[in-house]
Amino acid sequence: MAYVLVGLGGALGSVVRYSLGKFISRKLKGKFPYGTFIINITGAFLLGAVSSVAAGTNWYVFLAEGFLGAYTTFSTFMYEGFNLFLDKEKLNAITYIIISLILGLLGFELGNRIFY
Amino acid sequence: MKKYWFIALGGVLGAISRYYIKNIHILPNRGSLPINTFIINITGSFILALLLTAASEILNFDENIKLGIGTGFLGAFTTFSSMCKDAALLIHSGNFITAFSYLFLSAIIGIFTSYLGYITGITVIGVNSKKLSREAMEEIAVSSFEERKVFDELNN
């Protein structure tokens, strides 16, 4: 049963990540990968929220393990960071990576506390 | 549009794979070390870099298949949010050094494995294209990246 929830959330999370990511990239042009950045930070925030509100329930499995796990992505994050290095955009690369990690952690904390 | 089905299917499989691996007990006294997610994220990063570098050279890589595997499967397989939660939980239990090491190592090793994926991708291109000079192989990798950017722009 858990796997059904995870799979369903996974399908939705991936499609939303793709659509939203494309939408954001169109609106915010430039070298900085705003799409993945915004998606990962919002995903971390939402995971914080879901973790405090729905821990241990099937909703958690669906929303957190399924949807948010698929909505956020580490591989794309790394690949984009790597490509920034490859494009000689060292400052953008380091900024992207460090700010993502910091805001991701803070985002999770905020989401976790805000509904507590 | 057909591509969404490919992405969705990849997402189903990626999420399920991640969930399955996450629940395997690798270390006997794992405690709160998020080693499963770490392994998932690192291997996913390697495969994605390899895929996107060499996709245009590996057989006739259908764009939908590339989206399904890259955006769909690997995007869902790897996770940023879980990593943040792992670090937060470590901090809450007082393991500050472990928390920051985890994030730092994920990033450093993640970038490095992306680089390895890129190099492997170039090698695949070289093997596929038979006896190319190192410069020519890199040019193909760069131009396939440029092609992809143009393709992305056309599609947006």
pLDDT digits (tens, 9 = 90+) for B25-48: 776 655 668 999 999 999 999 999
Q: Which of A104-108, B1-5, B144-148 is predicted least confidently?
A: B144-148
* Alpha helix (H) residue ranges in B23-95: 35-54, 63-66, 75-77, 81-92
Q: Are B140 and B129 in contact (CB under 8 A)?
A: yes
pLDDT digits (tens, 9 = 90+) for B83-123: 999 999 999 999 999 999 999 999 999 999 999 999 999 88
* Alpha helix (H) residue ranges in chain A: 2-27, 34-53, 58-60, 69-71, 75-86, 90-114
B115 touches A: beta carbon within 8 Å? yes
B15: Cβ contacts below 8 Å, ≥ 6 apart: A6, A7, A9, A10, A11, A13, A14, A65, A66, A69, A70, B76, B77
Query: What does pTM read for this prediction?
Result: 0.87
Substitution target in A74, A77, A88, A89 with the highest count of B β-carbons within 10 Å is A74
Q: Is B146 helix (H, G, I), strand (E, B) or coil?
A: helix
B145 touches A: beta carbon within 8 Å? yes
Q: Do B19 and A65 touch (CB under 8 A)?
A: yes
Q: Are B88 and A108 in contact (CB under 8 A)?
A: yes
Q: Do A78 and B110 touch (CB under 8 A)?
A: yes
Q: Are A59 and A8 in contact (CB under 8 A)?
A: no
Q: Are A110 and A48 in contact (CB under 8 A)?
A: yes
Q: What torsion, rounded to 10 degrees, do the Cα atoms B120, B125, B126, B131 define?
A: 170
Q: How far apart are CA A40 and CA B148, in angstroms?
A: 23
Predicted local distance difference test score (pLDDT) of residue B58: 61
Looking at this predicted complex, what is its ipTM? 0.96
Q: How far apart are CA A105 and CA A54, in angstroms?
A: 19
Substitution target in A46, A67, A75, A110 with the highest count of B β-carbons within 10 Å is A75
Predicted local distance difference test score (pLDDT) of residue A8: 98
CB < 8 Å to A48, chain B: 85, 88
Of B94, B101, B80, B72, give the one whose Cα is nearest residue B13.
Answer: B72
